[in-house]
Amino acid sequence: MSRSGSGETAARVNALREKFAKAYGHRPEGIWRAPGRVNLIGEHTDYNLGYVLPFAIDKNALVAVRRKSQLDPGSQVLDFASTYGAGGELPITSITVDELVPRAVPGWAAYPAAVLWALNQLDGVRIGGLELMVDSDVPVGSGLSSSHALEVATIVALDDLYGLQLTKVQMAQLTQRAENEFVGAPTGIMDQSASLMSQAQHALFLDCRSMETQAVPLPLAQHNAVVLVIDTRVEHSHVDGGYAARRANCEQAAAALGVESLREVHSIAELEAIADPVARRRAKHIVTENRRVLDAVAALRASDLGAVGKLLCQSHESMRDDYEISSEELDAAVEAAMAGGARMTGGGFGGSAIALVKRERIEPVSQAVREAFDHAGYVEPAIFTVIADEGAGRA
Ligand code: ADP
Ligand code: MG
């Protein structure tokens, strides 16, 4: 039975066990689950050591694993398979432990391989041959962090199987290292923290400098409201330019101000000292976004969903105009779904938007978005509600 309690996840767990047995000839030792996330507010603030407020969603990656040491003690062969996009026969990608070299593993297997590599960098840890199979229903490249769901499911599995007893903060840092150094995507600490540390029906308020967390109740049921995700189906990629360029802009702004990170800046008046107008605008987003996260936490605690909605809209404007990470499709989604507040979520340059919507308005709001997309000639978006689920664990 899945810990998330979802019947759908339980059925996927059983199906994955069968597929694993078919592909590898025996059952896995266990199956672990790690959710994707939406970020309610606090975008690109993580690598500026600021605040974020994501929550884990009821879409997750499942990873089934078996150590080869049981049947073949010396084996250094790592076998990876994923049900994603595969037909009947699941192709298996095999590499050896020696081939765990940063940037050298092509394709999707780089993500689980990255986690193995990061763990093997630790003193006293030596992960040898294993068989792994992934089944994920987190949409890929939609800004809901399918990559971290995969990495987090892998690290909780290995932590459990090898008795590593890593803390959640250590696992978050290791998966960040995996994605930054091995895969080569310069992402921050938010996504994996959300996947590891979230609690059901709560958002995760994370201070990315201290790594302290607070679970903030989401008063959605009281307001008969839901979080609607609008996946524009315009895939983004963080391995290429835009994300890294924003990071560089922020570092440049911090250097101009003589601070270690933009977290240390509290008012936009201080930003006048940044000569470069682009760096100044980027910094303005970070400084105002940190403030909006704190305001959103206070509004949630006061059960003032109207105030949260306004902050979402302000956040979107800031990302569109100052940080310049939105897209035509994301702007259209936010405009059409404005309802109780909406914003793009995740790294940007494509991906998904979220909207706070009253239950009875789900259909009309979805219809308005679909019509706006149709009118503009965009690809039909995928629109669905999400539930704030609990963080990763054994399935
Ligand atoms: P996001 O994390 O926002 O979904 P990324 O570009 O960071 O987007 O990560 C997407 C990549 O993660 C995919 O291109 C693929 O390599 C890998 N991935 C995610 N889910 C799966 C899956 N179910 N099977 C195989 N690879 C996956
Ligand atoms: Mg990702």
345 CB within 6 A, ligand 1: no
Distance 179 CA to ligand 1 centre (A): 11
Q: Which tokens sit at 394?
A: 């054994």
What sections of the chain are H helices per DSSP?
7-24, 110-120, 146-161, 168-177, 190-197, 241-257, 277-301, 305-318, 328-336, 362-376
- Ligand number nearest to the C-alpha of 111: 1
**Domain membership of residue 260 as a residue range:** 218-386
pLDDT value, residue 239: 54
Active site residues: 191
Measured by CA distance, the residue closest to atom 12 of ligand 1 is 147
Do residues 242 and 357 share a domain?
A: yes
3 pLDDT above the threshold of 70: no
Mutate to test the pocket of ligand 1, among 146, 152, 175, 234 (most ligand atoms within 8 A of CB): 146
136 CB within 6 A, ligand 1: yes
12 CB within 6 A, ligand 1: no
Residue with tokens 């306004």: 310
108 pLDDT above the threshold of 70: yes
Do residues 146 and 241 share a domain?
A: no
112 CB within 6 A, ligand 1: no
Average pLDDT over residues 183-200: 96
Do residues 226 and 373 share a domain?
A: yes
Which of 165, 198, 215 terminates a domain? The answer is 215
d(C-alpha 160, C-alpha 323), whole Å = 40
Distance 344 CA to ligand 2 centre (A): 15
Do residues 188 and 240 share a domain?
A: no
Q: Using pLDDT thresholds of 50, 70 and 90, give the confidence band for residue 237.
A: low
Do residues 167 and 77 share a domain?
A: yes
Strands (DSSP E) along 50-155, which ranges? 51-67, 77-82, 93-96, 130-136
Do residues 203 and 238 share a domain?
A: no
In a domain, 357, yes or no: yes
Distance 138 CA to ligand 2 centre (A): 11
Do residues 195 and 298 share a domain?
A: no
Distance 57 CA to ligand 1 centre (A): 16
The 10s digit of each residue's pLDDT in 307-344 is 999 999 999 999 999 999 999 999 999 999 987 899 99
pLDDT value, residue 151: 98
Do residues 175 and 118 share a domain?
A: yes
The 10s digit of each residue's pLDDT in 200-229 is 999 999 999 999 999 999 999 999 999 999
In a domain, 332, yes or no: yes
What sections of 178-240 are H helices per DSSP?
190-197
4 CB within 6 A, ligand 1: no
Closest ligand 1 atom number to CA of residue 187: 7
In a domain, 58, yes or no: yes
User: What is the pTM (predicted TM-score) of this model?
Assistant: 0.96
Residue 350: DSSP 8-state:
S
Do residues 228 and 353 share a domain?
A: yes
Measured by CA distance, the residue closest to atom 26 of ligand 1 is 108
In a domain, 201, yes or no: yes
1 pLDDT above the threshold of 50: no
CATH of the domain at 258: 3.30.70.890
pLDDT value, residue 240: 63
352 CB within 6 A, ligand 1: no
Distance 89 CA to ligand 2 centre (A): 26
Tell me the average pLDDT of the chain: 95
Residue with tokens 């995760």: 204
Closest ligand 1 atom number to CA of residue 346: 3
In a domain, 366, yes or no: yes
pLDDT value, residue 238: 59
Distance 194 CA to ligand 2 centre (A): 13
**What is the chain's alpha carbon radius of gyration, rounded to the nearest angstrom?**
21
What's the sign of the alpha-carbon dihedral 33, 44, 320, 235? Answer: negative
d(C-alpha 315, C-alpha 111), whole Å = 30
In a domain, 2, yes or no: no
Which of 180, 215, 250 terminates a domain? The answer is 215
d(C-alpha 81, C-alpha 87), whole Å = 12
In a domain, 393, yes or no: no
d(C-alpha 92, C-alpha 330), whole Å = 36
Do residues 86 and 184 share a domain?
A: yes
pLDDT value, residue 73: 87
Do residues 91 and 49 share a domain?
A: yes
Angle at 165 between CA 161 and CA 169, to 5 degrees: 120
Angle at 152 between CA 151 and CA 155, to 5 degrees: 90
Q: Using pLDDT thresholds of 50, 70 and 90, give the confidence band for residue 6.
A: confident
Q: Using pLDDT thresholds of 50, 70 and 90, give the confidence band for residue 2.
A: very low
166 pLDDT above the threshold of 60: yes
Measured by CA distance, the residue closest to atom 23 of ligand 1 is 136
- Total domain count, the chain: 2
CATH of the domain at 169: 3.30.230.10
Which of 200, 215, 230 terminates a domain? The answer is 215
pLDDT value, residue 85: 84
Counting Cα atoms < 13 Å in the Cβ hemisphere of 157 gives 30
- Ligand number nearest to the C-alpha of 36: 1
In a domain, 110, yes or no: yes
Q: Can you tell me whether residue 306 is helix, strand or coil?
A: helix
Do residues 211 and 254 share a domain?
A: no
Average pLDDT over residues 194-201: 98
Report the share of the chain in percent with pLDDT over 70.
98
Q: Using pLDDT thresholds of 50, 70 and 90, give the confidence band for residue 71.
A: confident
**Dihedral of the alpha carbons of 139, 140, 141, 146, in degrees to the nearest 10:** 90
Average pLDDT over residues 287-298: 98
